[in-house]
Amino acid sequence: MWIARSKTELQKNLDSLPRPIVLVPTMGALHLGHAALIDLARKHAGTEGSVLVSIFVNPIQFDKPADLENYPRTEDEDLETCKTHGVDGVFLPEIGEMYSKDRSIMVTENQLSQDLCGATRSGHFDGVCTVVLKLFNLTQCDAAVFGEKDFQQLAVIQRMVRDLDLHIQIIPHPTLRVADGLAMSSRNRRLTLEQRADAPRIRKALLAASQKSSAAEIISTAREIIETSPLTTIDYLKLVNAENLQPTDQITSTCILACAVFYGDVRLIDHIKIPYC
């Protein structure tokens, strides 16, 4: 497995890399969820093709400097995970390698990114789109894998691929869950035992709500189950159109019920598809 820390080193390695090239973009701190994305990338690349992982904590997608500073950096363990999962090459650039001091061009998205997680994270999805486009260009990948857990991010990237005519296949990976239903996240580790025991209620709430037929009932059912716990604070709980992610109060097409819930200062997200039938 090669490691490229500069664009020049990456380019040298790419010259002899068999296609298809499937990229898994990450910010490091790899966990079981990332390992599953890497395994799916290998399935698509086949034994003949190549799997690349990028590890880059992208400063322009953080709206709070403290979050950027506190973001976990676990390079040695990350490289070990990549090796164990048969990754061919890792791109691990420094900030200066990715962004010129006087950079002045960004990708902006102004529909799908406005609500849900985007509502309180100004500029976040523009930062994600910009770095992902750069990683697509730099790695010259044919396909890239993204988790469905961050469904707003996935939708924004799919829209970027469509609107900018990128010739890259986006491969979604279904949300991975612990046996009790809680969506896997590196943040789960920060929950206290009591919070962790309570957190599967988020999934239970979404499942119960998805059995209801009206938008109002869907929202009220989920809200009641989540708010019954004294440990939770809802950041948002919204029903949105699955295509444009705009809030809706009627189920006239497939929708997504999405939420972000605080346990103390740990913010967990989850969602469920509400089919239109």
Count Cβ neighbours within 10 Å for each residue of 229-251 and write b for 16 or more, e otherwise. bebbeebebbbbbbeebeebeeb
| List of residues 6+ apart from 48 with CB closer than 8 A | 18
* Cβ-based nearer residue to ligand PAF, 120 or 253: 120
Binding status of residue 128 toward ligand PAF by CB under 6 A: yes
Binding mask 38-67 for ligand PAF (x = CB under 6 A): --------------------x--x------
Check if 31 is active-site: no
Q: What distance lies between CA 131 and its chain's CA centroid?
A: 13
Site size with ligand PAF, rule: CB under 6 A: 10
* Cβ-based nearer residue to ligand PAF, 131 or 143: 131
Binding status of residue 130 toward ligand PAF by CB under 6 A: no
Q: What distance lies between CA 50 and its chain's CA centroid?
A: 22
Binds ligand PAF (CB under 6 A): choice among 4, 21, 27, 218: 27
In this structure, what are the phi and psi dihedrals at residue 179, rounded to the nearest 5 degrees? -55, -35
Count Cβ neighbours within 10 Å for each residue of 62-79 and write b for 16 or more, e otherwise. beeeeeeeeeeeeeeebb
The rounded distance, in Å, linking the Cα atoms of 65 and 115 is: 22
Shortest Cβ 66–ligand PAF spacing (Å): 18
Binds ligand PAF (CB under 6 A): choice among 30, 107, 131, 256: 131
* Cβ-based nearer residue to ligand PAF, 132 or 191: 132
Instruction: Determine which one of 31, 34, 124, 167 is catalytic.
Output: 34
| List of residues 6+ apart from 136 with CB closer than 8 A | 23, 144, 166, 168
Binds ligand PAF (CB under 6 A): choice among 25, 49, 89, 93: 25
Binding mask 62-101 for ligand PAF (x = CB under 6 A): ----------------------------------------
The rounded distance, in Å, linking the Cα atoms of 146 and 153 is: 9
**Residues near ligand PAF (CB under 6 A):** 25-27, 58, 61, 128, 131-132, 150, 153
Which residues form the catalytic set? 34
